[in-house]
Amino acid sequence: MSPSTWRQPASDSDVPSDPGQAASSADGAPDTGSTAAVDTSGRSERRFWSARRIPAALVALLSVAAIGLLLYDVVSVRAGRSAMRWRRRLAEELATRPLDDTWVIVGAAVAMALGLWLFLLAVTPGLRRLLPMRQPTGIPGAEEVHAGLDRRAVALRLRDRAVQVPGVQSARVAVGHRKVKARAWAHFRALEEVRADLDATLGEAVTSLGLARQPALTVHVRRPKKG
């Protein structure tokens, strides 16, 4: 993460934006009115990219070890010594084994899987736990700041806001880059009233986060199980 990148905990500070509509359902029934995520920034969302230090270190160490061992063997052969046993065995196996051999197929599959894994690591951002925030306008140097919120902190904050709604006994909130799903259990008041209050409270809380992409909000309200 660059020096100009910082993480901000979830808070109640208001950031001006157009609030997105929220969709909800009562008694756990799915609601077809779920709204799509709204990008209120007017610009493309900048995701946080992971440095991939562990995969890069593993690939570098394995590459250095393999190349160093091979180079040492080549230099030894040039100096008049015989090649190492493992290289002679490898050359013999590659020359004699057919392409439809089981071990050849397994080795090719493993190499392809590792290559695909490294390719996916190279082209995907990673750091999915961070939600990019909208960059403020009209402030000098603001375009150089890349701020984000931790998804777990946002989920905890929204859950705390949800349990403050009258009638809510407990709640669970799952936060993603495109959707926020809230499940609440109401032990008194009508479910429709609790759902409406949750829509308003959580919708305002999500809007106040100032995210680069306004996630869609879905609320499910039901009664807790008896006994």
Please list the pLDDT of the chain residue by residue as tens digits (227 residues).
443 334 444 444 444 344 333 333 344 443 433 433 444 444 445 667 777 788 888 888 999 999 999 898 889 888 888 888 888 888 888 888 888 888 889 989 999 999 898 888 888 777 778 888 887 777 776 667 777 888 899 999 999 999 999 999 999 999 988 899 999 999 988 999 999 999 999 999 999 988 888 889 999 999 988 75
Strand duo 5-7 + 179-186: pairing: unpaired
- The CATH number of domain 6-47+128-135+146-222 is 3.30.200.20: no
Q: The tokens of 74 are what?
A: 């080549």
pLDDT at position 36 is 39
pLDDT at position 56 is 84
For the chain, the structural domain boundaries read 6-47+128-135+146-222, 53-123
Write out the DSSP string of 133-198: BPPPSSSTTGGG-EEEEEHHHHHHHHHHHHHTSTTEEEEEEEE-SSEEEEEEEESSS-HHHHHHHH
pLDDT at position 46 is 65
CA–CA separation, 17 vs 6, rounded Å?
Answer: 21
Q: Do the Cβ atoms of 28 and 204 come closer than 8 Å?
A: no
Helix 102-123 to helix 53-78 angle (10° resolution) is 130
pLDDT at position 47 is 67
pLDDT at position 90 is 83
pLDDT at position 64 is 94
